[in-house]
Chains A and B, each alone.
Chain A
């Protein structure tokens, strides 16, 4: 079963613009993570945000988490053609400390040069 739902399913922007992807989930979580997947490749971890955190930055990435709305957003600033990929949110559900991650359906981002 899928825990997260990403929105939009697809996003196309010009190089230099910002890209925002949203993720909603259903159960209480321990942490939420974002991964990137280039076409035909495995997933690569981008950033993790814990349930007691509201915002986190890593380079051009900014992640927010609203546990009351069970939602998160990933912002990529000053996008580059190399950012073209699919982006997935994944959650580690409470109440256990299981490391198991449940992934959403993903957002496909295309950055045009």
Chain B
């Protein structure tokens, strides 16, 4: 696609529920990134994929968070047993490759999915 698309744009859920957030990256971009941003803060790294595999998942806060990218394109971030502290904007980005060589890690971001846990 022309840009990075994220759905839903807004999600309100109750504490304890399961949530899925979807990201459709730019066509041909092999790397896909998930970040979380709280109000007034910078984006916090969660996980990034090179193709279908998670190259670095060191930012996932705990085992309630999981992300997949089964065909190397669309990715889904899954949050189990949501807590109020999970409320944030979840940003997805993609880049041509997942390396910093030749500046190939310039990220194109989607508009984000705002998650509110009541």
Residues of A within 8 A of B (CB): 2, 4, 30-31, 33, 35, 41-45, 48, 50, 88, 92, 97-106
Q: How many residues of B contact A (CB 8 A)?
A: 30
| Residue among A88, A103, A105 facing the most chain B CB atoms (10 A cut-off) | A103
**Cα separation A101 to B34 with both chains bound (whole Å):** 11
Q: Which residues of B contact A104 (CB under 8 A)?
A: 42
**Cα separation A113 to B4 with both chains bound (whole Å):** 32
Q: Which residues of A contact B109 (CB under 8 A)?
A: 35, 42-44
Instruction: Give 5 CB contacts A-B under 8 Å.
Output: A48-B103, A97-B101, A99-B100, A99-B105, A104-B42
Closest to A41 in B: B111
Q: A-B contact count, CB below 8 Å? A: 75
Is A100 a contact of B103 with CB atoms below 8 Å?
Answer: no
**Cα separation A4 to B42 with both chains bound (whole Å):** 10
Q: Which residues of B contact A100 (CB under 8 A)?
A: 33, 45, 48, 55-56, 98, 105
Q: Which residues of B contact A31 (CB under 8 A)?
A: 100, 103, 105
Is B42 a contact of A99 with CB atoms below 8 Å?
Answer: no
Q: Which residues of A contact B100 (CB under 8 A)?
A: 30-31, 92, 97-99
Question: Is chain A's interface secondary structure helix, strand, loop, or mixed overall?
Answer: strand
Contacts beyond the supplied A31-B105, A48-B103: 5 A-B pairs with Cβ under 8 Å? A2-B42, A35-B107, A43-B43, A92-B105, A100-B48
Closest to A6 in B: B42
Residue interface bits B81-118, CB-to-A below 8 A is 1, else 0: 00000000001010101111101111111111000000
Closest to A45 in B: B106
**Cα separation A48 to B109 with both chains bound (whole Å):** 16
Is B55 a contact of A43 with CB atoms below 8 Å?
Answer: no
Is A50 a contact of B103 with CB atoms below 8 Å?
Answer: yes
Is B95 a contact of A103 with CB atoms below 8 Å?
Answer: no
Q: Which residues of B contact A101 (CB under 8 A)?
A: 33, 45, 105, 107
Closest to A43 in B: B109
